[in-house]
Each structure stands twice: as C-alpha cells, then as structure tokens.
Structure 1
C-alpha cells in the first residue's frame, strides 16, 4: 500500500487515500495562498477554481472533484456561510 507524501520539490504524490492527499494539498495551499484573517471571505466557486489551478501546478494528478474538495474544506477549519442570494462563502470566522 502506498502512502501519500509531498515530494522534495513540493509536488504532491498521490497514493491510495485521496482524501488525505487533498487535505494535505489544501493545507499547503492555504498556507501559501490565503491570509488567515477574521474578515477573509471568498466564494466557494472562486476558491475551488483557484485551488484547482494551484493543484494542477503542484501535482500530476487531476484536481479533486467537488465532493472530495468539500470534505477537505470541512476538515481544514474553514467555516461556510450562505448569503441571502444563495452564494456559499468560505472564511476563517463568521460572527
């Protein structure tokens, strides 16, 4: 059974557990690309597109499908909020 690791050159190595790989990739992406501030908000659709583009630059694998990405987001500590007009926002702390 293979394990999921980050290679020395920063690329993501894909093994048997995609949720773990996506979670690790999301954590790396958040560390590199998104500021952790209380008022940071981003639309889920834009966040997914930005992450997918970043993921393709760091991995030979395809970016995660939306359900896998949703699970990784839930495990990341980001909070979600739905606006009155139906948009889904992600952020660090909603009050």
Structure 2
C-alpha cells in the first residue's frame, strides 16, 4: 500500500509468535525499515489473536486495515483498524 510518500508492506509471519503481525516501510521499494507491530491483540474483539486481512485506501484518502480477530469468547470476528493520525505517513493504528 502506498500512503503519503511511503510504501507499506504488511505480512503475517512473525518469528515471535502467531498472534501479531510485522510491517515494514520503504520510500523507494529497495530499502525497507522495520517499525513496531501494525496490529496487536489488545481489545476484546481480538484479544486471542489478530489474523489475516487487507489494507487499502478508501475514498477521501482514508487508509484502513480490515482483519480477522479472535475475540475473548473465541469467536472469529471481522475488524477494522484506522490510523490514529492520518497525517502520520507510518500510520500508527488506532484499534477502535
């Protein structure tokens, strides 16, 4: 996904466990910088895991991540994550 001059690469593999996802950034698609987790299980709707999903830009330049979470009662639920600050090119997530 390309947003505010930065390419975002999300992937599901995590060497630290199966409940979180890493992401990396690049401004040139050659050199990538790892940053903190994109999504992590902290809310009742994903407390038992964050799974596969998609990232896109909605009309109005609104980036979103749609993903599957495992709720505290072990139900698979569809979730949406939006950036806490849309002017932040690195899109720190506000999991509402």
Q: Which bin holds the TM-score, normalised by the shorter protein?
A: under 0.3
TM-score by length of 1: 0.22
Which of the pair is proportionally richer in helix?
A: 1
Structure number with greater CO (CA < 8 Å, separation at least 6) is 1
- Whichever structure has more strand as a proportion of its residues is 2
- TM-score, normalization by structure 2: 0.22
